[in-house]
Structures are given as structure tokens and as C-alpha cells.
Chain A
């Protein structure tokens, strides 16, 4: 399968714990995006990378959130000291650079903070 993959698909954690999610983009895509989606809402942009450089971060991304994309391949999103409000679906997407920006999404990681 050459699509975007995310791991894990589901994560249940207790409040205050740290969690890390992984995203493997389509191999030839140099742009990678993280979104958060809550029930009944559309995806909300969190951050994006072009190759290994993190070029933009949303104000939604508090200092408890950090993302990396070492070597411009896979990316990780870490949430420290999780809160119940962090419960959501975390989506990763990738795209090519250029004038056409359709994004290819992974299946998401469903986070539940108890």
C-alpha cells in the first residue's frame, strides 16, 4: 500500500500522560500536514512541513504539542501532559509541492484521554 499510513490507529491514555503518533507520508511527497478533527467538525490545521523544515504552526498548537520530521520522511506528533480536551482524531496528510495542492490523508489516530 503506497498511501499515507498512521500509527497507532487508536490510543487511550490517562490525563497527564505523554503520547506520540507517527505518520508515514506517500514517499515522493515532500509536504506533510497535521490536522485535528473533533466530532461534527472539519479538520483543523495544526502544522506543516516541507521536507524536514516545519514552516507553519497553528495557534491551536500549544506548547504541549511538538512535531518533527527528521530527514524529511516520516513525522511524529507528540502531546505532553495530555488533557481531556486533546481527545480527537489526529490526521496526517501529504502532498507534492507545486501549484496543485490536493492532499492525501491517512486513516487518522483516534486519541481518547480519560
Chain B
């Protein structure tokens, strides 16, 4: 069955540094991969989507890479700020992208210290 792993449960970094979060998957070839942010007690908020034929996608201080050979996505936040502290979830479609149903990883809790 499909499996998604976000390698770190928690990541602590200093303000201004670049945070790098990892998402690995097995037994699967997704059509796309998404990253969401979730704050405590709230629903996830969509951040970025990257398709299988895209290597990299950027949005402001965020960058996502997608390596279908390694079956891995990296999510970077540059010039991190305390306001970036949250849990970040990666999600894959599991039906070839036709219906939008997603499998989520457990998430990585990012803490940015001032």
C-alpha cells in the first residue's frame, strides 16, 4: 500500500535560517504532491502544489522540489520567521489525480525561535 513519511516529527531552527522539510513516499507514483500548513486547532491551509513533471515550484519564501526518481519532495522556507511556526503536511493524490483524494503524511512541526 502507499506510504508517506515526513522524516522529522519536529524541527527547531533559528529565525532567519532556511527550514528544509522532507517528504518521502513508497509504492506509489503520484500525479502531484501538495504541501499544507496547519496551526493548532485549525484546518490545513494549502500552500503549494507541484506536478510530477515539474522539478521545482516557488512562491514568495517557499520552494518545493519533487524528485520522482528518489520519490521525495523537499519543502524549503527561506528567511524563516517565528510566524512560520506550525505543522507542515505533505499530501499525495492516490488515484492518479483524477478525483483529488489525498493521502497525508503525519506532518512536521516547525518551531522558529527568535
Contacts and interface: CB of A to CB of B under 8 A. Distances in A.
B42 A108 contact: yes
Interface string A72-97: 00000000000000000001010100
Contacts of A42: 4, 89, 91, 104-107
Nearest to A58: B101
Chain A: number of interface residues, binned into ranges: 20 to 34
B99 A99 contact: no
Contacts of B93: 101
Chain B: number of interface residues, binned into ranges: 20 to 34
B43 interface: yes
Contacts of A41: 106
A102 B104 contact: no
Interface stretch (B13-21, B44-52, B56-64, B69-77): B44-52
B102 interface: yes
B82 interface: no
Nearest to A104: B46
Given A42-B89, A42-B104, A56-B101, 14 more contacts: A4-B43, A31-B100, A40-B106, A56-B99, A100-B49, A101-B32, A101-B34, A101-B93, A103-B46, A105-B45, A106-B43, A107-B41, A107-B42, A108-B41
Interface of A: 4, 31, 33, 35, 40-45, 48, 50, 55-56, 91, 93, 95, 99-108, 110
Interface of B: 4, 9, 32, 34, 36, 41-46, 49, 89, 91, 93, 97, 99-107
